[in-house]
Amino acid sequence: MTTWSGSTELATTRRVAAFFDLDKTIIATSSAFAFGREFMNNGLITPAEALQLSLAKATYMVAGQSSEQMDATRDQLASMVAGWSVEQVRNIARDTMHHVVTPAIYAEARELIAFHHNAGHDVIIISASASQLVDPIAKELGIATVIATELEVADGHFTGDILFYCKGPAKAEAIAKVARDHNYDLAASYAYSDSATDIPMLEAVGNPVAVNPDRLMKKAALKNSWEIRTFKDPVPLFQMPSSREVSIGAGVVAAVTAVTVGGFWWAQRGRPGSA
């Protein structure tokens, strides 16, 4: 589509995009941890590993993750999936997302995505989670474009290596690239996220919005006069893992969570990076 520029040249109309982070922005959970029970039920992880994921999810919902904790999660999950069938993971995510993820989608996020679609904007999910987990969520929301962490695949199986880690400045770089490729006007575009690690992403557009911001994101939003929104439906309360999920009594889990979670994260910090 072209418009008359007022001279003898034609100028291509620039498009508007809306970039959405996923966890705690579109969904009231962690997409990286959400399928732990299903992976256990399909024999991909042990009950002990499922418990680790459940505890990590619980602390993430309460306190979020620092940049270092995100890196530790990246290394842990990349190591965990080494050797898994890509097709099996896709099938598990697709077949179980309606009872695992769909109930956690914020109604406010659905409405906002519909608003941007109706306005003719291109809606894009940009997430640090693996693309195989993000794709079915995007399909549920009618979103055609996903920018996410890409895991190396060989002979249909994950190798445990990471080709692209979609976090922090890498998100801003990906936004700049997709803007060049698709002629997006970033000054007129939107970005939504909760986490301070996504400050570069919000700085890349003219309409940044902090959604359910963590402490540092809220500080940046107030400093820069960014819009702040609170999504509450569903209310992002975490549930402790049940005995059916991890073969351990819920009372025992509640008792050990406080001392286990911190040790898990700090222990993971010493792992060598895979990116």
Give residue limits of the domains in the chain. 15-235
User: What are 127's strand-pairing partners?
Assistant: 148
Q: Decide: helix, strand or coil at residue 192.
A: strand
Positions marked catalytic: 21, 23
**Where does residue 64 fall: left (phi above 0), alpha (psi -120 to 50 degrees), or beta otherwise?**
left
User: Which CATH number among 1.10.357.10, 3.40.50.1000, 1.10.1060.10, 3.40.50.300 corresponds to the domain 15-235?
Assistant: 3.40.50.1000
Residue 196 amino acid letter: A
pLDDT score for 251: 32
Do residues 225 and 232 make contact, with C-beta atoms less than 8 angstroms apart?
no
Q: Which of 29, 170, 148 is nearest to 100 (CA)?
A: 29
What is d(CA 188, CA 23) in angstroms, rounded to the nearest whole number?
Answer: 24
pLDDT score for 54: 56
pLDDT score for 41: 80
16: enclosing H helix or E strand? none
DSSP 173: H
Q: What are phi and psi of 126, to 5 degrees?
A: -130, 115
- pTM of structure: 0.75
pLDDT-flagged residues of the chain (< 50) = 1-11, 57-58, 60-63, 65, 236-275
